[in-house]
């Protein structure tokens, strides 16, 4: 017998009209729902997120159909991906039915749902539906029975789990009853290609033909109504993520990671800075709230949230959405609260893991801009003192700027102002210049460069704070002032390459300064050393040691520099004992976002939490690559009671201890 089935069997071609009618209405209602939401997105400012459209579309298709970001957290990610692919297949299956039943057959008498193709089609769809059902069941158990901490259950979740489960089950019921009434009797061979349908059919095999047909009509219509119900609820429930999340892939920020909008401070007539109400945000900031499915992966990884501070990146995003849709006049800063806003370390763990490409960090920085630039607010008086110190002396410590280059005494380093010929400009940064512990890193770096025959120059007292903590705290004005002074000095030095031992300076000079007129090669010293070792310029002896390594936020997540430092440490003889939270999952030291200048007054210490993670590996040595991390860990080891258990060193110190050839 031919391998095919009669489309609209039993329900009859009479259903076509009402079916398409109701479907059209459902789609129209759905479209209307989104149209109303677009009105709210538009409360925000314009922003072009459709440039390089073809590139964006490719990313959309990759991320949507590949489910790569969803899969980053395997537990719930794998079931969701499988469920999604199952549904995609079912949807394609429905499209194929429509293609044949409403176009190719009536118009051209072409039927392709026959023979081997139909057998394959049946099998794939049955399996797809089954896998989707099983995965959905697993996800339902997870949400309602296991109840992972922080995963809220809302009205939408009941709606989604119940309606989709019902849709799949009624679909199989309709199929099963149909098979019971047709293939089971006339073409049992074919029925094997619908294994689930066959199973259901066997449960109803005993019924007479008339009962089967009545049941079939019932399940068919129930299934149809459920689907219509589903479509209609999309814009008004979490179902909207079916459209908003893929849209967010399309609208994703294509700029370098960590790019912040540079305010034009010269602009005439601009009296308002930063964000304190919905209208100050861009439409994308409001849209982000609609793309959020409360998966809480951001919250799970937030160093502030995990040390009992009130900041939840997910909550901030959702509060903005709530305000936009229910109270657009609200003062966002009062809604979110200062304690929440100041707690952020801009570590980017939230954005890195978000499966919906939501941009959490810049919303917080924009609100901080309002706090600082419009209200003169700071997280604490000590921060205002540090900020004033940067303004007066170019460093947060308030130490005399004239002494910035004093750490070089006795070392082979040139001052750029002497007009020396050098290979690289070493941008030292405030901590390596002035902080005793971090000066060791600067000295180690020079020692290494000397051994490799690299001529190093510094700006010395002409160097000022790169401005990064200022910028992240929201003080865009002072950041631009201090940045311009650095840019002037760098340009005057006529240098072509900058190397720095600080990831924050790295990001700021290499990326942020571009908006202010400096486009120059800036490299982190770990990448620099990796190259020197590889090309033979630097010779180090491998003295074995056990260690664990901390990927700093501004090197790992911001710059994707994860492997090179490990290469260097391997060449130095190191045996690494990775922490659980490593690489892109690394847990912040707590100093980012300008918080190096602030006292930690809420909750427990982030630095202690990270030191604990390090000691848990059993390694006696923790290695870092950032002056902030080094400072925080020295602190965290002492205050967290880990003294004697673990010590912390910078990668530069390890390498400097192992130099074999002195140039």
Instruction: Write out the residues near another protein by the rule CB under 8 A.
Output: 265, 271-273, 372-378, 381, 384-385, 387-388, 391-394, 398-403, 461, 476-477
Specify the residue, 325 or 477, whose C-beta has the smaller distance to another protein: 477
Q: How far apart are the first and last CA of the chain?
A: 86
**Residue 268 vs residues 249, 265, 271: alpha-carbon distances, Å:** 35, 8, 9
CB of 437 to another protein, least distance (A): 19
Determine contact, residues 490/520, Cβ cutoff 8 Å: yes
Segments in 42-114 forming alpha helices (H): 53-66, 68-71, 74-99, 105-108
Specify the residue, 272 or 496, whose C-beta has the smaller distance to another protein: 272
Specify the residue, 149 or 266, whose C-beta has the smaller distance to another protein: 266
Looking up tokens 């602190």 gives: 635
The DSSP element (H or E) to which 457 belongs, if any, is strand 456-458
Looking up tokens 């293939």 gives: 183
Number of Cβ atoms within 10 Å of the Cβ of 662: 9
Determine contact, residues 359/285, Cβ cutoff 8 Å: yes
Which of 397, 424, 400, 398 lies closest to 413 in space, CA to CA?
424
CB of 356 to another protein, least distance (A): 33
Specify the residue, 298 or 373, whose C-beta has the smaller distance to another protein: 373
CB of 516 to another protein, least distance (A): 17
Specify the residue, 246 or 405, whose C-beta has the smaller distance to another protein: 405
Please state, in angstroms and rounded to a whole number, the distance separating the CA atoms of residues 142 and 133. 14
CB of 386 to another protein, least distance (A): 12
CB of 372 to another protein, least distance (A): 8
Specify the residue, 342 or 378, whose C-beta has the smaller distance to another protein: 378
Specify the residue, 376 or 536, whose C-beta has the smaller distance to another protein: 376
Specify the residue, 273 or 547, whose C-beta has the smaller distance to another protein: 273
CB of 374 to another protein, least distance (A): 6
CB of 409 to another protein, least distance (A): 15
Specify the residue, 222 or 384, whose C-beta has the smaller distance to another protein: 384
- DSSP count for the chain of H helices, then E strands: 31, 9
Instruction: Catalogue the long-range contacts made by 381-385 (C-beta closer than 8 Å, 24 or more residues apart).
Output: 382/597, 382/598, 382/599, 383/473, 383/594, 383/597, 383/598
CB of 477 to another protein, least distance (A): 5
Please state, in angstroms and rounded to a whole number, the distance separating the CA atoms of residues 610 and 549. 11
DSSP annotation string for 266-311: T-TT----S-SSGGGSBHHHHHHHHH-----HHHHH-TTGGGT-S-
Specify the residue, 391 or 657, whose C-beta has the smaller distance to another protein: 391
Specify the residue, 52 or 388, whose C-beta has the smaller distance to another protein: 388
CB of 633 to another protein, least distance (A): 25
User: φ and ψ at 420, to 5 degrees?
Assistant: -75, 155
List Cβ neighbours of 4 (8 Å cut-off, separation of 6 or more). 111, 113, 114, 115, 118
CB of 476 to another protein, least distance (A): 8
**Residue 283 vs residues 248, 258, 312, 324: alpha-carbon distances, Å:** 12, 19, 21, 10
- Note the maximum CA span of the chain: 101
DSSP annotation string for 346-399: ---HHHHH-TT----HHHHHHHHHIIIIIH---S-HHHHHHHHHHHHHSSTT--
CB of 94 to another protein, least distance (A): 57
CB of 491 to another protein, least distance (A): 22
Determine contact, residues 451/412, Cβ cutoff 8 Å: no
Looking up tokens 């007009």 gives: 419
At 201 the three-state DSSP class reads helix
Specify the residue, 405 or 636, whose C-beta has the smaller distance to another protein: 405
User: φ and ψ at 652, to 5 degrees?
Assistant: -60, -40
CB of 373 to another protein, least distance (A): 4
Determine contact, residues 648/623, Cβ cutoff 8 Å: yes
**Residue 152 vs residues 159, 160, 169, 295: alpha-carbon distances, Å:** 14, 14, 26, 9
CB of 398 to another protein, least distance (A): 5
CB of 384 to another protein, least distance (A): 6
Specify the residue, 280 or 290, whose C-beta has the smaller distance to another protein: 280
Specify the residue, 193 or 479, whose C-beta has the smaller distance to another protein: 479
Specify the residue, 208 or 271, whose C-beta has the smaller distance to another protein: 271
List Cβ neighbours of 13 (8 Å cut-off, separation of 6 or more). none
Q: What's the order of all strands across the beta sheet hosting 545-549?
A: 574-576, 545-549, 621-624, 647-650
Number of Cβ atoms within 10 Å of the Cβ of 461: 17
CB of 368 to another protein, least distance (A): 13
Specify the residue, 58 or 265, whose C-beta has the smaller distance to another protein: 265
Q: Give me the count of residues in the chain.
A: 663
CA 577 to chain centre: 26
At 49 the three-state DSSP class reads coil
CB of 606 to another protein, least distance (A): 26
Specify the residue, 375 or 639, whose C-beta has the smaller distance to another protein: 375
């Amino acid at each position: 017998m031919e391998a095919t089935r009669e489309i609209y069997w039993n329900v009859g071609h009479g259903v076509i009209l009402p079916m398409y009618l109701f479907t059209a209405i459902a789609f129209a209602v759905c479209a209307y729902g989104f149209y109303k939401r677009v009105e709210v997105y538009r409360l925000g400012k314009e922003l072009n997120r459709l440039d390089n459209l073809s590139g964006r579309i490719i990313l959309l298709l990759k991320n949507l159909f590949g489910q790569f970001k969803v899969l980053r957290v395997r537990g719930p990610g794998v079931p969701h991906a499988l469920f999604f692919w199952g549904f995609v297949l079912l949807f394609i299956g429905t499209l194929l039915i429509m293609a044949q039943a409403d176009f190719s057959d009536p118009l051209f008498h072409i039927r392709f749902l026959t023979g081997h193709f139909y057998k394959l089609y049946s099998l794939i769809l049955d399996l797809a539906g089954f896998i989707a059902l099983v995965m959905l069941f697993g996800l339902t158990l997870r949400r309602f029975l296991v109840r992972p901490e922080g995963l809220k259950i809302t009205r939408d979740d009941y709606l989604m789990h119940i309606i989709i489960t019902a849709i799949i089950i009624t679909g199989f019921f309709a199929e099963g009853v149909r098979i019971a009434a047709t293939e089971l009797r006339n073409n049992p061979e074919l029925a094997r290609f619908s294994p689930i349908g066959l199973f259901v059919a066997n449960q109803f095999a005993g019924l007479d033909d008339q009962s089967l047909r009545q049941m079939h009509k019932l399940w068919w219509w129930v299934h149809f109504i459920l689907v219509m119900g589903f479509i209609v609820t999309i814009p008004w429930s979490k179902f909207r993520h079916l459209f908003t999340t893929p849209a967010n892939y399309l609208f994703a920020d294509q700029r370098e990671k960590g790019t912040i909008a540079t305010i034009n401070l010269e602009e005439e007539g601009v009296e308002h800075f930063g964000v304190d109400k919905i209208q100050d945000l861009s439409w994308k900031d409001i849209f982000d709230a609609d793309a959020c499915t409360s998966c809480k992966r951001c919250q799970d990884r937030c160093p502030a949230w995990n040390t009992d501070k009130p900041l939840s990146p997910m909550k901030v995003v959702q509060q903005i959405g709530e305000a936009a849709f229910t109270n657009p006049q609200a003062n966002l800063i009062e809604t979110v609260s200062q304690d929440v806003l100041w707690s952020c370390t801009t570590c980017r763990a939230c954005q890195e893991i978000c499966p919906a490409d939501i941009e959490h960090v810049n919303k917080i920085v924009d609100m901080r801009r309002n706090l600082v630039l419009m209200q003169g607010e700071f997280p604490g008086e000590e921060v205002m003192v540090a900020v004033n110190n940067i303004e007066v002396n170019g460093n947060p410590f308030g130490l005399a700027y004239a002494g910035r280059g004093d750490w070089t005494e006795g070392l082979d380093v040139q001052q750029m102002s002497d007009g020396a010929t050098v290979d690289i400009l070493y941008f030292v940064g405030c901590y390596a210049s002035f902080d005793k512990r971090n000066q060791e890193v600067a000295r180690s770096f020079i020692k290494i460069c000397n051994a490799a025959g690299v001529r190093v120059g510094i700006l010395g007292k002409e160097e000022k704070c790169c401005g990064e903590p200022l910028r992240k705290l929201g003080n865009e004005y002072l950041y631009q002032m201090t940045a311009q002074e650095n840019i002037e000095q760098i340009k005057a030095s006529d240098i072509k390459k900058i190397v720095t031992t600080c990831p924050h300076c790295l990001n700021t000079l290499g990326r942020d300064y571009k908006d202010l007129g400096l486009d120059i090669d800036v490299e982190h010293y770990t990448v620099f050393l990796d190259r020197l070792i590889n090309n033979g310029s630097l010779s180090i002896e491998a003295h074995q040691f056990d260690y664990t390594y901390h990927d700093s936020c501004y090197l790992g997540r911001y710059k994707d520099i994860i492997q090179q430092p490990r290469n260097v440490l391997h060449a130095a003889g190191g045996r690494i004992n990775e922490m659980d939270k490593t690489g892109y999952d690394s847990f912040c030291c707590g100093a980012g976002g300008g918080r190096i200048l602030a006292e930690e007054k809420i909750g427990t210490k982030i630095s202690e939490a990270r030191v604990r993670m390090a000691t848990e590996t059993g390694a006696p040595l923790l290695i870092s690559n950032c002056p902030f991390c080094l400072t925080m860990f020295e602190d965290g080891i002492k205050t967290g009671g880990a003294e004697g258990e673990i010590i912390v060193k910078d990668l530069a110190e390890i390498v400097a201890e192992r130099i074999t050839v002195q140039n």
